[in-house]
Amino acid sequence: MIRILAATVLTVTLVPALPAQASSARKAPAKAWDLDGDGRRDVVVTGFTKEGRDAVRLRVEYTRTKKRTTLVRTSPILKKIFRNDLMPWGQPVSADFDRDGYADLAWAFGEAGGAYRPFVLYGGAKGLTGKSALLPFFDGNGTKTPLRTGDFNGDRRTDLAVTDKTSAVTFSFSGRKAKIRAQRFPAAYPEPEGFSTGDFNGDGYGDLIVSDDQRWMISLGTPKGIGPVREITGPAPRDLSIRHNSAAGDFDGDGYDDLVVEYLTDAGTDDPELVVAFGGPATPFTRVQRFSESTLTGAQKANWFGFSLAVGDVNGDGRSDLAVGDRTRVFVLYGSKKGLNLRSFQTFSASTRGLPHPKPLRPGFGEQLRLTDITGDGRPDLHIAYAAHRKWIVLRTVKRRVSPVKPRVFTP
């Protein structure tokens, strides 16, 4: 039996972690990642300065001014947020949450036992301002699903979404206030592992997909925000179990977002598969596409295929393209009418001509990926984190392909 429980809704004024400054004049909302509101997305890279605890860094390079800001955990803003031994978890996401014309970052920090708490760092005319806000901790049982964004109530404003052990939670912002809407999972669930957002049924409202080891839950967006969470038949073939990774985009360009999920075979981590499940109006996810690294390359297997995923329309044909990392190389697969094109793709590794190839080469190339336009041509550029060598390598998109020529390299 599926119980439908009413949504929990509450509105809170975000608690500033630092005293508020005078608010700036009203501008149109900024694009995601455009922290200084000059119309160009800025480069945001994260990492550790050395092995161990102390020095988590968030570095921003502003595209137009080339000015760099580095926030280390010991800076007043982050110190306030990362109290004690709290460490940031995952990667930041960006949107102009308070709609003041400067994009903001949302990030989360983890606590012992796996809980997390999201926070917002606000942008301004000169980039990150130092203003920040902690988001209310919704439930003591936090989990480690990534932060996601979407427009779940169709008001054309970007909301933030998280999950905890019992609920899917969204934050809808109105200036520096946030309306929190939570929808309980229909049954006791172990920790959710997969979490993605997209408009899977194509009605203009963002939807959430949550998965644990075997089961799938969906919450469809409505004019009021996320609707009741219900179980669905997931895209999982029975012989596979989910690792943790998922992402969404419209890979076949039919107007319905599609889900890509990393699956392990029952045999273990050997040659994980990616399953693309296609969205649709009534019964999404009935059509799937499955492939592994060995499908792409022949005999070669890799244990970490799908460890990282990023989605963006690299070639500008209106279909989402997918970057997939296996911790030694990155594949760029292009969307097509039938789904991802598995015949014509690109690969990059530290041995690719033009890329930095430090010696000795350590694993972890592409542990984090992002597709965000930093050159201003409207095409996303491929950000590749290589944490073992403390680098983010940004490959530009040139002539509808990702180019290894003259990459930009950032050290967090």
Least Å distance between CB 30 and Ca ion? 7
CA dihedral 42, 48, 54, 59 (to 10 degrees): -10
Least Å distance between CB 207 and Ca ion? 4
Q: Which is nearer to Ca ion, 250 or 326 (CB)?
A: 250
Local structure of 400: helix, strand or coil = coil
Token readout for 408 is 């930009």
252 lies in the site for Ca ion, by CB under 5 A: yes
Token readout for 92 is 């930041």
The number of beta carbons lying within 10 Å of the beta carbon of residue 150 is 23
Least Å distance between CB 314 and Ca ion? 6
The site that binds Ca ion (CB under 5 A) totals a number of residues, namely: 22
Q: Tell me which stretch binds Ca ion (CB under 5 A): 293-301, 329-337, 341-349, 400-408.
A: 329-337
Question: Considering only residues 61, 96, 151, 373, which one is a binding residue for Ca ion as defined by CB under 5 A?
Answer: 96
88's CB contacts (< 8 A; 6+ apart) are 46, 56, 58, 82, 107, 108, 109, 110
Rounded to whole angstroms, the Cα distance separating 161 from 371 reads 20
313 lies in the site for Ca ion, by CB under 5 A: yes
254 lies in the site for Ca ion, by CB under 5 A: yes
Q: Are 104 and 98 in contact (CB under 8 A)?
A: yes
Least Å distance between CB 77 and Ca ion? 15
317 lies in the site for Ca ion, by CB under 5 A: yes
Cite the DSSP H helix spans in 26-185: 76-81
Q: Are 351 and 345 in contact (CB under 8 A)?
A: no
Strands 225-232 and 240-249: unpaired
Q: Tell me which stretch binds Ca ion (CB under 5 A): 65-73, 91-99, 111-119, 223-231.
A: 91-99
Site string for Ca ion, 176-215 (x = CB under 5 A): -----------------------x-x-x-x-x--------
The number of beta carbons lying within 10 Å of the beta carbon of residue 223 is 10
258 lies in the site for Ca ion, by CB under 5 A: yes
Q: Which is nearer to Ca ion, 33 or 386 (CB)?
A: 33
Least Å distance between CB 344 and Ca ion? 12
Least Å distance between CB 372 and Ca ion? 15
61 lies in the site for Ca ion, by CB under 5 A: no
What element of type H or E holds 295?
Answer: helix 293-297
Least Å distance between CB 84 and Ca ion? 28
Q: Residue 32 — φ and ψ, nearest 5°?
A: -55, 140
Q: Which of the residues 125 through 164 are near Ca ion (CB under 5 A)? A: none
Question: Considering only residues 62, 102, 116, 304, which one is a binding residue for Ca ion as defined by CB under 5 A?
Answer: 102
Q: Which is nearer to Ca ion, 31 or 301 (CB)?
A: 31
321 lies in the site for Ca ion, by CB under 5 A: yes
Least Å distance between CB 356 and Ca ion? 27
36 lies in the site for Ca ion, by CB under 5 A: no
Q: Which is nearer to Ca ion, 100 or 262 (CB)?
A: 100
Local structure of 273: helix, strand or coil = strand
Give the max Cα distance, the chain. Answer: 61
Least Å distance between CB 181 and Ca ion? 15
100 lies in the site for Ca ion, by CB under 5 A: yes
Question: Considering only residues 42, 104, 293, 326, which one is a binding residue for Ca ion as defined by CB under 5 A?
Answer: 104
Task: Please confirm whether the linkage preceding 360 is cis (ω < 30° from 0).
Answer: yes
Is the four-CA dihedral 11, 100, 170, 20 of positive or negative sign? negative
354's CB contacts (< 8 A; 6+ apart) are 404, 405, 406, 407
Residue type, 345: F
Residues making contact with Ca ion (CB under 5 A) = 96, 98, 100, 102, 104, 199, 201, 203, 205, 207, 221, 250, 252, 254, 256, 258, 313, 315, 317, 319, 321, 335
